[in-house]
Amino acid sequence: MIPLHITELSVDGFRNLHGVKLAPSPGGNVLLGDNGHGKTSVLEAIDYAASLRSFRGATRTQLIGHEAKSADILMRVGGPSPSREYRLRLGRVTREITLDGKRPERAVEYFSGAACVVFHPGDLDLVRGPPELRRRLLDRILVRAVDGYGEALKSYGKALRARNALLREKHPNAKAIQAYDFPVARYGSALTRARTVLAHDLVPAARRALDEVALSPDAIELKYQPRASGDQVAFTAALAEGLARDLARRSTSLGPHGDDLAITWSGLPARVVASQGQTRALALALRLAELHVLEARTRAIPVLLLDDVSSELDRERTARLFKLVAALGAQVFVTTTDPAIAAMLPGARRFTVADGAVSPAGAG
């Protein structure tokens, strides 16, 4: 497998970052600095360019610096294909995106060429948090790995919002509502089928990852729990049968927008029985499973972004993780306040982050 690697990164006006120009190592990269100076924002800018979402849940306008008119990101990525250029300008009103100087036509074309996997402190909620976060994990993988999934996800959301708007009207029109049953079922069943297959594929990948971070690999189970059938005809019929219920609730009750990825640990819900340390390891295993599945499906190794890893993992698991990354040949970016963490990545390129500026700090 050939790793994806960022060869050039320029960021200006994104959060507190200004005038950032990096030539990262194709291997390890460590961002050192005190908290609040912009280390995480560098990772966020990379992942935003790759995914068009903030892993911190920020809106577009929240990503623009207080004194900036726009946030600009230029990222060049090498890998199995010729180098790709991702260029974004986030304005207060609009967002401009180009891939190799052109507006991307297909979601998978854009997302697969710069796949990143992010592990950050908020990932504990993958295990303990609401189903929305686990659905987002599945969707994040599928938009990169399955041609047409991103378009189906967008079309489902559009049809669902339209149906729900009609359900919320003062005097709902049943015929108008049912006109949206077909697109909701068509795109919703496609999402359900793809997510179900992916959840099945994630089990061996997560077990492999658990073994890599020194937890019992057989203890974890992942099961996709859909609210509607993956069969379009059955889904359409269920929507028709549930119309009275939806009218009472004023929202669509069936569909992949309410599905969950159940995580069990030794046969019990992980969110209930897993300790803090086990929860961290499980969250990391899910992210490594994301990496392994993307590697298998796209035939390229994603870039790995590790935010504040020293606060999330003990030294032994951090060392195991870095050893795994080195064995994969993945490009990795690590943020930390601890110089000793940098020493655990031999040969890594070090950068100092202070007041939104990034400068080289010498090789490890």
- What pLDDT, in 10s, does the model give residues 292-310? 999 999 999 999 999 988 7
The string of pLDDT tens digits covering residues 122-135 is: 999 999 999 999 99
pLDDT digits (tens, 9 = 90+) for 205-217: 988 888 877 666 6
Q: What is the pLDDT of residue 364?
A: 43
pLDDT score for 212: 78
Quickly count: other Cβ atoms within 10 Å of residue 231's Cβ: 14
pLDDT number for residue 215: 63
Mean pLDDT computed over every residue of the chain: 92
Q: What percent of the chain has pLDDT over 90?
A: 74
Residue 223 has pLDDT above 70, yes or no: yes
Contacts of 18 (CB under 8 A, 6+ apart): 12, 65, 68, 356, 357
Write down the pTM of the prediction.
0.92
- Residue 136 neighbours by CB distance under 10 Å: 13
Q: CA–CA separation, 129 vs 353, rounded Å?
A: 31
Banded model confidence at residue 355, pLDDT cuts 50, 70, 90 = very high
Per-residue pLDDT tens over the stretch 151-180: 999 999 999 999 999 999 999 999 999 999
Q: Where are the domains of the chain?
A: 1-115+302-364
pLDDT of the residue at 319: 84
Residue 224 confidence class, pLDDT cut points 50, 70, 90: very high
Judge contact between 63 and 15, C-beta under 8 A: yes
The answer on pLDDT for 279 being more than 50 is: yes
What is the pLDDT, as a whole number, of residue 209? 84
Question: Which CATH code, of 3.40.50.2000, 3.40.50.150, 3.40.50.300, 3.30.420.40, is assigned to 1-115+302-364?
Answer: 3.40.50.300
